[in-house]
Each structure stands twice: as structure tokens, then as C-alpha cells.
């Protein structure tokens, strides 16, 4: 293929101590890309590992920005301020996708008129405990999880889509906030694009993740930025079991986990603003 004279899009990757994730993500993303096709901006924020060094190994299409403090919000803002070429993809450093998956998302927002697009989610369940797997078996079937842009680690925005979210206040659940910023007809999940996502490997780590998610949903709800359709209803769970009776065995664990997380959030442990980073999902 002929080299690109101008990037077809910008990719912003916030990274806090993600040396291993970047070593996995960047080669896969760039191997099938044309030279100059993607302008990749890796924003290393508060890193104490070799994330910046690792990002700099992957050729001239990767630019590295370093921020002194660990802050995903600051990293997103810094990367967003550097965007010149649209669409723009915001990609978490601990997921994996290739150039073909990214191009499919670009088509959705350039040729099909969507303001936002995300890939199908593939949860990598290697070394994930039985209790965590059972929780995710239910979670993946929830209608809002199937249709929302969140929990995928990748969101591609058109220029108009980016302008809509660029001035938005920072929220704990930034991907849910982005998803909720668009009406259902303005966003899409591309069935010909897949991202690999590593979930929590243990039930304890899953609890930590879910605490932060619930805090994020509550924060968005207080700001009037979350729709009723983003909440799980009893009818949704009944439909999941009706469609797949084997899920009935998993439902009690899902309900107990959900209840325990809500109790812990109500009791204020941990405090909002404390980042519960899940190290079990990072590769060793």
C-alpha cells in the first residue's frame, strides 16, 4: 500500500505504569497499519516504570507525552488537546486490538455517520477464577452492557462527537460518561471489530472494580448524565435466565456480588477518588 501523506485518524492512549500493556498493544496495533496511517499519542501520567521508554520503541508514528501526576483525566485532556486529525480513538493501554479493528470503527464514524463507535468485546478468561467468570457470564448478557460503549477500552469519535464530550467534566467512569453523551442512534457497536479485554481474575479484584463502577454511576446520576436504561432491572435478569437456563446457577452469585458492592459503597469504603487499580488483569 502507498504510504499515508496524512494520518487517517488519531489514537490517544493514556498510560499509568502500563509498560507491559504497551508492549502488547502497540505492536499489534501498528503491525498491519500503513506508515503514517495512525498518529498515536501515548500520554504517560505519573509513571514509575518504563512506560515512556516502551512507547518510544514503536516507531515514528508514536508520540510520547509525559505528565508528572497519575491522572487519567489529565491524560485524556492532554492527548485530546493534541488532536489534529479525526476521527480520534481513545484506547486504554491494557487492551489489545489491531489496525483492521480500528479501521472498521473509523468506517462507522466517517462513512455511516455515527458520532461514536466501539468494538465488540472479547473477555480473555485465561486464569480467571470460577466465581469471577460466573459473574461476567451474567454481566456480558445485560442489555446495557451489550449496547453501551463502556467496558471495552476503545471509543472512536468523529470530530462532532469529540466536540460534544471535550468540555465535559471529569467523571470516575469516563467511558460510561462518553457512552451516555450520545443517543442510541448516534452510537454503534461494530460487529466486524473486536477488542480483547482482560477482566479481573479473582472475585476480590472484581469487587474492587465494581465498587469503582458503582461510584461512577452514582456520580453520573447525581449530575443528571445517566439514563434509566443503563441500570439493571429484574426483568433483564429474568430474560437472561429464560434465554440461557444455565445462567440460573450463576445468578445468585451475581446478585450477592452486586448487593455487597452497594453496601460497601454506601458505607463509604473506599473513599471516592481512591483509584482501585486491578493488577490481576495486567499481564505478568
User: pLDDT digit of tens for each residue in the chain (284 aa)?
Assistant: 445 557 789 999 999 999 999 999 999 999 999 999 999 999 999 999 999 999 999 999 999 999 999 999 999 999 999 999 999 999 999 999 999 999 999 999 999 999 999 999 999 999 999 999 999 999 999 999 999 999 999 999 999 999 999 989 989 899 999 999 999 999 999 999 999 999 999 999 999 999 999 999 999 999 999 888 888 999 999 999 999 999 999 999 999 999 999 999 999 866 554 445 677 777 65
The torsion angles phi and psi of 259, rounded to 5 degrees, stand at: -65, -45
CA distance 139 to 190: 19
In the chain, the N- to C-terminal Cα span, in Å, equals 36
C-alpha to C-alpha distances, 151 to 27, 95, 120, 123, 221, nearest whole angstrom: 22, 11, 10, 10, 18
- For cell 460534544, name the residue: 164
What DSSP string runs through 185-198? GGEEEEEEEEEEE-
Joined together, the cell numbers standing for residue 144 give 446495557
Nearest-angstrom CA–CA distance, 10 and 113: 18
Q: Are 65 and 87 in contact (CB under 8 A)?
A: no
Task: Specify whether the CB–CB gap between 79 and 65 falls below 8 A.
Answer: yes
Amino acid at each position: 500500500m502507498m504510504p499515508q501523506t496524512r494520518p487517517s485518524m488519531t489514537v490517544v492512549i493514556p498510560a499509568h505504569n502500563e509498560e507491559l500493556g504497551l508492549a502488547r498493544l502497540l505492536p499489534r496495533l501498528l503491525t498491519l497499519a500503513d506508515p503514517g496511517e495512525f498518529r498515536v499519542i501515548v500520554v504517560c501520567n505519573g509513571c514509575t516504570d518504563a512506560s515512556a521508554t516502551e512507547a518510544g520503541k514503536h516507531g515514528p508514528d508514536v508520540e510520547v507525552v509525559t505528565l508528572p501526576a497519575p491522572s487519567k483525566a489529565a491524560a485524556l485532556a492532554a492527548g485530546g488537546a493534541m488532536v489534529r486529525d479525526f476521527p480520534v480513538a481513545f484506547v486504554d493501554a491494557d487492551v489489545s486490538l489491531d489496525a483492521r479493528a480500528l479501521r472498521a470503527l473509523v468506517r462507522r464514524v466517517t462513512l455511516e455517520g455515527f458520532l461514536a463507535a466501539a468494538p465488540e468485546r472479547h473477555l480473555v478468561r485465561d486464569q480467571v477464577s470460577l466465581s469471577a467468570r460466573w459473574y461476567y457470564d451474567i454481566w456480558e448478557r445485560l442489555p446495557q452492557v451489550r449496547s453501551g460503549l463502556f467496558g471495552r477500552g476503545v471509543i472512536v469519535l468523529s470530530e462532532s462527537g469529540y466536540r460534544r464530550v471535550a468540555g465535559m467534566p471529569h467523571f470516575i467512569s469516563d467511558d460510561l460518561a462518553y457512552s451516555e453523551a450520545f443517543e442510541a442512534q448516534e452510537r454503534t457497536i461494530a460487529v466486524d471489530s473486536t477488542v480483547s479485554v482482560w477482566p479481573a481474575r479473582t472475585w476480590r479484584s472484581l469487587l474492587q472494580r465494581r465498587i469503582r463502577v458503582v461510584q461512577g454511576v452514582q456520580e453520573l446520576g447525581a449530575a443528571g448524565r445517566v439514563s434509566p436504561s443503563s441500570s439493571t432491572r429484574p426483568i433483564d435478569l429474568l430474560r437472561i435466565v429464560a434465554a440461557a437456563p444455565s445462567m440460573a446457577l450463576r445468578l445468585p452469585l451475581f446478585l450477592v456480588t452486586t448487593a455487597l458492592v452497594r453496601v460497601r459503597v454506601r458505607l463509604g469504603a473506599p473513599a471516592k477518588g481512591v483509584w482501585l487499580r486491578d493488577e490481576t488483569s495486567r499481564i505478568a
